[in-house]
Amino acid sequence: MFTGIITAIGSVGRVERKGHEAVFEFVCPYEALVLGESVACDGVCLTVVTTTARGFTAAASAETLSRTTLGQKQSGDRVNLERALRVDDRLGGHIVAGHVDAVGRVRARIDSGGEAERWQFDAPASVLKFIAEKGSIAIDGVSLTVNVVDAEGFEVTLVPFTLGHTTLGDKRAGSPVNLEADVLARYVARALEGVAPRGGVTSELLARAGFMGTKAP
């Protein structure tokens, strides 16, 4: 489990392709990594297989390579890194599982007239249905707040600190990014499957599904 607060920027040291799978070496400043621990790499939860003098190695399955941008990574590419959340850590972003839903793309970077920038992203319909205005989303592992949702994607605001301390500042229109919807939205949608009336989600429906304190009769 992660928070979407990037703690280091690493890079791909080497990639060893093994059929439909791959082993990555990541160069990073983390110390005392433990074999078997989880590290989010551009938002993808990977397991430390070995430690090296300059970082660690991790294996990626065919599913991971096909559903994320890791399949496109090459030696030298920069990546956002976050070690797994500890019980006593601050939850500075939101709950991020490290299970990427799909790859989206940067639609546009818009100058807002100040230091912050408005960024628009295109997202597949399979992910877009879980994205809500003022909800949370992880983009390449970075926890961000959604400002606007439209028929093709969504918009967020990126401040200079985020642009300077993550790899998002490297992105341009058309750049692919890993998207992970808020895990709570996925569970609510799953619980409501097959029970939503034509009128949509109501307080009575939420009560019957157990999301309110008192269930409707």
Residue 178 and residue 43 in contact, taking contact as beta carbons nearer than 8 Å: yes
Give the amino acid at 156: V
Provide the 10 A C-beta neighbour count for residue 114.
9
Tell me which fold the domain 8-83 belongs to: Elongation Factor Tu (Ef-tu); domain 3 (2.40.30)
Q: Global pTM?
A: 0.87
Positions in the chain whose pLDDT score sits under 70: 194-217
Kindly indicate whether the domain formed by 102-186 is annotated with CATH number 2.40.30.20: yes
Tens of pLDDT, residue by residue over 130-150, are: 999 999 999 999 999 999 999
Q: What gap in Å lies between CA 58 and CA 88, rounded to an integer?
A: 26
Could you tell me the CA-to-CA distances from 9 to 12, 23, 40, 55, 198 in Å, in that order? 10, 19, 11, 12, 47
Provide the pLDDT for residue 217.
Answer: 47
Provide the 10 A C-beta neighbour count for residue 63.
10
Domain map (residue ranges) of the chain? 8-83, 102-186
Tens of pLDDT, residue by residue over 100-130, are: 999 999 999 999 888 999 999 999 999 999 9
Give the amino acid at 203: S
Domains 8-83 and 102-186 equal at CATH topology level = yes
